[in-house]
Every structure is written in C-alpha cells, then in structure tokens.
C-alpha cells in the first residue's frame, strides 16, 4: 500500500465531485497504476480539457495542463512530440472527448501518438448543466432531452479502434482492481492507448433518470457488461445489449513520434 497524498495537491481539496461520483474511483486507480509502474512525478504529464472528469488534473501533483474544451489530445500531442521521454496521460469525458473533441480523438488514434487517453463515460455533460452527450443511451432524460433523447450513441471503443488506436480497452468503476491493470497496460503500450471507463453521475444522470442511489447505479454497471474473455464462450443472444470490458484490441505498430524523429534524423 502507499499514501495517496504523495501524489495529490492537498491544497486543492476538498474536491468538487458530487457524493457518489465514480470519477474519484478512476483517480484512485490511476494513482495505483502509476505507483505500480514506479514512475516519478516529474516523468508524468496529465492533460485534461473541460468537464467533471477534466478537473482531476488539478488534484494530482504531476506536470499538469488544464486546456480548452475538447482540445486535450491536441495539446498532449505537442507535449509528446517535444518531450517524447515523458509519460503523457489525457483525462477527458464523453462530451469533451467525443463531441467537441471528436476530431482530435480520431486523428490522435490514426497517427498512433504515444499517449494514454482515459475517457470517463458517465453519459452526460455533468459540469455544464446536464445536457445529453454523444454516449447517452436512447430514451434517457436530460436537461436538453426532457422527454428522452433519440440519437444513436457512440461506441467510443469501436470508434477508437476503427480510427487506428493500437490499444483499446474498457473498464468500469465497479471493478477498480481490474481498472488498475487496464491503466497499467494502456500506459505500457508504446502507441496511442484508448481506455474508456464507464463511470456514473448520480446527480444529472442518475437522479434525472430515477436510477436509485449511487450504489444502485454502480451496481448497474456490473449487470450490463461482460468481460471480453468470458464473452468468447457465450452465444450471441447472451451478449445482446451488453458492453464488453477488458482489452478489446491490441495491435502494436510504429509510434508516430518515433517515426517522425527517425525521418528528421
């Protein structure tokens, strides 16, 4: 075990997350993963955009950059190309990373830039008033869809894989120990690593949709997912409506910065 406070800016606390928000679980997993990899604080850069998830960058005692809405991957790409020896981690949300930042996501994946992107998916714009997001399930209520939203949601992992990410995985906050391992694997991959983390928003999403208390909502995650290894042995009808968790795609290929440096040399 270790003391989380070693990696936190304690002067930034108390945090702004609502009671029951899953993002704090993700932060704990990230710190455990970094500790297990024995990375020093000076070796890490955490970049974030705008949103509840993006506020996490302000709480960690690493090199950090809180950027404009939807642009953390663009800033992170510049950092990685300028300082390739650094471990660059992007924390974004489903709105920040898939809506206003969607174009940056597909091109970072296409280039296979050596970044780790943690996309925290709670199906809602939590910080800006509870609007529905690109991942909000059909029929769910939000401040901008009071009768339910009817746009087909993104599967962010399929999007990242199709765009060219060399590592794609999905974890859930219900299983933090498994999430720790996925973050380690994502950071260890030399190219673009995309890890979607299914989190929960007990206020703007859970309360508006009458999903019960935070414990009920986090339990729903487990009921709606199947581990990719277990899924291989299940018939198609058992997988209908389920999300797959674990490492969904891993195909190492040349990292963009390394190729660029070689061409310059």
Give the pLDDT means over successive 10-residue stretches in the chain (265 positions). Answer: 91 92 96 96 96 95 95 97 97 94 96 97 88 93 92 95 97 97 98 97 91 91 91 88 94 94 89
Query: Which pLDDT belongs to residue 121?
Result: 95
Q: How many other CB atoms are found less than 10 A from the CB of residue 13?
A: 10
Q: 70, 96 in Cβ contact below 8 A?
A: yes
For the chain, helix (H) and strand (E) counts, in that order, are 10, 10
Query: Which pLDDT belongs to residue 132?
Result: 92
Q: 35, 2 in Cβ contact below 8 A?
A: yes
Query: Which pLDDT belongs to residue 172?
Result: 97
Query: Which pLDDT belongs to residue 191?
Result: 97
Q: 122, 22 in Cβ contact below 8 A?
A: yes
Query: Which pLDDT belongs to residue 156?
Result: 96
Query: Which pLDDT belongs to residue 81?
Result: 96
CATH 3.40.50.970 for domain 22-264, yes or no, is yes
Query: Residue 131 to residues 14, 51, 99, 125, 211: CA-CA distances in angstroms?
Result: 26, 12, 12, 5, 17
Query: Which pLDDT belongs to residue 160?
Result: 97
Query: Residue 45 to residues 61, 139, 155: CA-CA distances in angstroms?
Result: 10, 38, 27
Query: Which pLDDT belongs to residue 236?
Result: 87
């Amino acid at each position: 075990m270790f003391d989380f406070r070693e990696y936190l800016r304690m002067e930034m606390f108390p945090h702004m997350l609502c009671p029951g928000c899953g993002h704090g679980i993700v932060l704990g997993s990230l710190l455990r993963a970094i500790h297990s990899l024995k990375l020093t604080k000076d070796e890490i850069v955490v970049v974030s955009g705008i949103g509840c998830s993006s506020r996490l960058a302000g709480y960690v005692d690493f090199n950090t950059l809180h950027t404009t809405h939807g642009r953390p991957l663009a800033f992170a790409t510049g950092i990685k190309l300028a300082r390739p020896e650094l471990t660059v981690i992007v924390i974004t949300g489903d709105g920040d990373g898939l809506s206003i930042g969607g174009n940056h996501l597909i091109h970072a994946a296409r280039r296979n830039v050596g970044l780790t992107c943690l996309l925290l998916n709670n199906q809602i714009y939590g910080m800006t008033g509870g609007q529905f997001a690109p991942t909000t399930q059909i029929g769910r209520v939000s401040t901008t869809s009071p009768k339910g939203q009817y746009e087909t949601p993104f599967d962010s992992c399929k999007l990242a894989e199709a765009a060219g990410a060399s590592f794609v995985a999905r974890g859930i906050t219900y299983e933090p120990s498994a999430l720790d391992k996925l973050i380690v694997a994502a950071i260890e991959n030399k190219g673009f690593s995309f890890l979607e983390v299914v989190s929960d928003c007990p206020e703007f999403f859970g309360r508006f949709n009458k999903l019960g208390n935070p414990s009920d909502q986090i339990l729903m995650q487990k009921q709606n997912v199947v581990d990719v290894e277990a899924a291989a042995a299940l018939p198609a009808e058992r997988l209908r409506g389920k999300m797959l968790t674990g490492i969904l795609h891993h195909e190492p290929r040349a990292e963009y910065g390394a190729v660029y440096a070689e061409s310059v040399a």
